[in-house]
Chains A and B, each alone.
Chain A
Amino acid sequence: MKTWKAAQLDRLKPLVFLVGLFPLGRWVWLGFNNGLSANPAEFLTRSSGTWALVLLLVTLALSPVRRLLAQPALVRWRRMLGLFSFFYVALHTLAWAWWDRSGNWLSMWQDIVQRPLIAIGLIATVILLLLTLTSTHGWQKRLGRGWGRLHQTVFLAAALSVLHFYLIRIGKNDVVEVYVYGLVLVGLLILRRWPVLNQPAK
Chain B
Amino acid sequence: MFKSRSQPIQSSEITDESVWRARRRLFLQAPGALALAAGLPGLAQAVPVGQALSFNPSQRWKLDETPTSEADVTTYNNFYEFGTGKEDPSRQSGQFKTEPWTVQVDGLVHKPLTLDMDQILKLAPLEERIYRLRCVEAWSMVVPWVGYSLSALLKQASPMGSARFVRFETAAEPETMPGLRSRILDWPYVEALRLDEAMHPLTLLATGLYGKSLPVQNGAPVRLIVPWKYGFKSAKSLVRITLTDTMPESSWMKVAPHEYGFYANVNPDVPHPRWSQATERVIGSGFFATKKATLPFNGYAEDVASLYANMDLRRYY
Chain A contacts to B: CB under 8 angstroms: 37-42, 98-100, 102-103, 107, 110-111, 114-115, 117, 167-168, 171-174
| Residue in B closest to A107 when the chains form the complex, CB atoms | B276
Of A39, A110, A167, the residue contacting B76 (CB under 8 A) is A39
Complex: A111 Cα to B138 Cα, angstroms: 14
Contact B281 A171 (CB under 8 A): no
Asked if B246 is an interface residue, CB under 8 A from chain A, the answer is no
With a cutoff of 8 Å between Cβ atoms, the chain A residues found around residue B75 in the complex are: 37-38
Binds A, one of B38-46, B155-163, B283-291, B295-303: B283-291
Of A103, A107, A110, A117, the residue contacting B274 (CB under 8 A) is A117
B262-273 vs A, CB cutoff 8 Å, 1 = contact: the mask equals: 000000000101
Q: Interface size of B by Cβ–Cβ distance < 8 Å?
A: 26
Of B84, B256, B275, B287, the residue contacting A40 (CB under 8 A) is B287
Of A41, A107, A115, the residue contacting B281 (CB under 8 A) is A41
With a cutoff of 8 Å between Cβ atoms, the chain B residues found around residue A41 in the complex are: 281, 287
CB distance from A119 to the nearest CB of B (A): 12
Interchain residue pairs A-B with the least CB separation, the first 9 = A38-B76, A102-B290, A38-B72, A173-B184, A38-B283, A102-B291, A171-B259, A174-B84, A171-B274
Give the secondary structure class of B's interface: loop
With a cutoff of 8 Å between Cβ atoms, the chain B residues found around residue A98 in the complex are: 290
Known: A37-B86, A102-B291, A103-B290. A168 touches B274 (CB 8 A): yes
20 contacts between A and B (CB under 8 A): A37-B87, A38-B71, A38-B284, A39-B139, A39-B283, A41-B287, A99-B281, A99-B290, A102-B291, A103-B290, A114-B276, A115-B273, A115-B274, A115-B275, A168-B274, A171-B256, A171-B259, A172-B184, A173-B184, A173-B255
| Residue in B closest to A102 when the chains form the complex, CB atoms | B290
- For the complex with contacts A39-B283, A107-B276, 17 further pairs of A-B residues with Cβ separation under 8 Å are A38-B75, A38-B284, A39-B76, A39-B139, A41-B281, A41-B287, A42-B139, A42-B281, A99-B281, A99-B290, A103-B290, A111-B276, A171-B256, A171-B273, A172-B256, A173-B255, A174-B84
Complex: A110 Cα to B276 Cα, angstroms: 9
Asked if B279 is an interface residue, CB under 8 A from chain A, the answer is yes
With a cutoff of 8 Å between Cβ atoms, the chain B residues found around residue A174 in the complex are: 84, 184
Contact B274 A167 (CB under 8 A): yes
With a cutoff of 8 Å between Cβ atoms, the chain B residues found around residue A111 in the complex are: 276
Complex: A114 Cα to B270 Cα, angstroms: 12
With a cutoff of 8 Å between Cβ atoms, the chain A residues found around residue B275 in the complex are: 100, 115
Contact B86 A39 (CB under 8 A): yes
| Residue in A closest to B69 when the chains form the complex, CB atoms | A38
B86-118 vs A, CB cutoff 8 Å, 1 = contact: the mask equals: 110000000000000000000000000000000
With a cutoff of 8 Å between Cβ atoms, the chain B residues found around residue A168 in the complex are: 274
Complex: A38 Cα to B281 Cα, angstroms: 11
**CB within 8 Å of A: which B69-83 residues:** 71-72, 75-76
CB distance from B76 to the nearest CB of A (A): 4
**Residue of A42, A111, A174 with highest tally of chain B CB at under 10 A:** A42
With a cutoff of 8 Å between Cβ atoms, the chain A residues found around residue B279 in the complex are: 102
| Residue in A closest to B292 when the chains form the complex, CB atoms | A102
